[in-house]
Amino acid sequence: MSDLFDLKDKTIVITGGGGVLCSTMALALAEAGAKIAVLDLIEAAAAKIADQINSAGGRAITVKCNVLDKASLQTALEKINAELGKIDILINGAGGNKKEATTSPDLSFFDLPSEALQFVFNLNFIGTLLPSQVFGKEMAESGGGIILNISSMCAFSPLTKIPGYSAAKAAVSNFTQWLAVHVNQNYSKDIRVNAIAPGFFLTEQNRFLLTDEKTGKLTARGKTIIDHTPMGRFGQPEELIGTAMWLLSDAAKFVTGIVVPVDGGFSAFSGV
């Protein structure tokens, strides 16, 4: 079993590596013996995680990178190759929403600025596609590799208030399937592309949408989510690790083109 899930000495690139969910995965994968390139637009956030890994005896490097800039991604690739070697795994974790792209009593759908919607769509979808081009090309040339995308529950059913984010994550899920087929048919049968669709986890992005900043109690939106989650709680970042380990290892050697919900039953519940 240990061989089946072995990730020792694999070089793993994680975009958005300074965020709550991806930093948790980075720390766990490093503990499993992988070499981690922590990519983030905010260099200090990436450095904090890389420092934790290195202090614990692992191997990690910090790479400041803009996932919407192909030249930035190419520079990152060259640095990773020079310091950690050939890339085995890419986790596309960069993403997020924006207040200006969210409907509210003060901002109707009809007034959402196109610039904000475009930013959210680009960050989540184009910010998944471009790293897959740059780092995936190396996998195609070497004949093997794994790409893991981060989708969302709103890819299955759109969530209220966030039309741009919902549309972008639906695009990520669709692209996951498309790319899995494309690389197998055109480059290598040994490249796998899958996605995880997290349910509701408290992150810096959504914390004060789901809980009251002053009291810590659930907001109306947070209560609705809990009421529609059969397990009756938010997820913990550590609860993504098992699914990630499975999809990134030989334990999932014949698994490609799927999106796995990790959601406490949210997607299974009709509300009745």
> Would you state the pLDDT for residue 211?
80
> pTM here?
0.95
Q: What is the mean pLDDT of the chain?
A: 95
The predicted model gives 227-242 an average pLDDT of 95
Q: Which residue has the tokens 């992988």?
A: 34
Task: Tell me the sheet residues that pair with 260.
Answer: 196
**Cα separation of 235 and 268, whole Å?**
16
**Cα separation of 12 and 29, whole Å?**
8
> Would you state the pLDDT for residue 257?
98
Judge whether 229 and 264 are in contact, CB under 8 Å: yes
Secondary structure letter of residue 24 according to DSSP: H
Torsion sign over Cα 89, 16, 85, 142 = positive
pLDDT over 90 (residue 212): no
Ranges of beta strands (E only) in the chain are 11-15, 35-40, 59-64, 89-92, 145-150, 191-198, 259-262
Of the CA atoms within 13 Å of residue 217, those in its CB half-sphere come to 2
The predicted model gives 39-52 an average pLDDT of 98
Judge whether 179 and 147 are in contact, CB under 8 Å: yes
> Would you state the pLDDT for residue 139?
98
> Would you state the pLDDT for residue 171?
98
Report the catalytic residues.
165
> What does the block give as tokens for 46?
């990436």
237-272, pLDDT tens digit by residue? 999 999 999 999 999 999 999 999 999 999 999 988
> Would you state the pLDDT for residue 208?
63
The predicted model gives 2-9 an average pLDDT of 94
Strand, helix or coil for residue 30 = helix
Helix (H) or strand (E) holding 23: helix 20-31
> Would you state the pLDDT for residue 242?
97
The dihedral over CA atoms of 184, 185, 186, 191, expressed in degrees to the nearest 10, equals 0
At 203, the pLDDT band (50, 70, 90 cuts) reads confident
List of domains in the chain? 11-199+235-257 (3.40.50.720)
Strand, helix or coil for residue 11 = strand
> What does the block give as tokens for 131?
């790293």
pLDDT over 90 (residue 161): yes
At 101, the pLDDT band (50, 70, 90 cuts) reads very high
The candidate with the shortest Cα–Cα distance to 168, out of 69, 270, 98, is 98
At 219, the pLDDT band (50, 70, 90 cuts) reads confident
Q: Would residue 118 be called left, alpha or beta, if left means φ above 0 and alpha means ψ between -120 and 50 degrees?
A: alpha
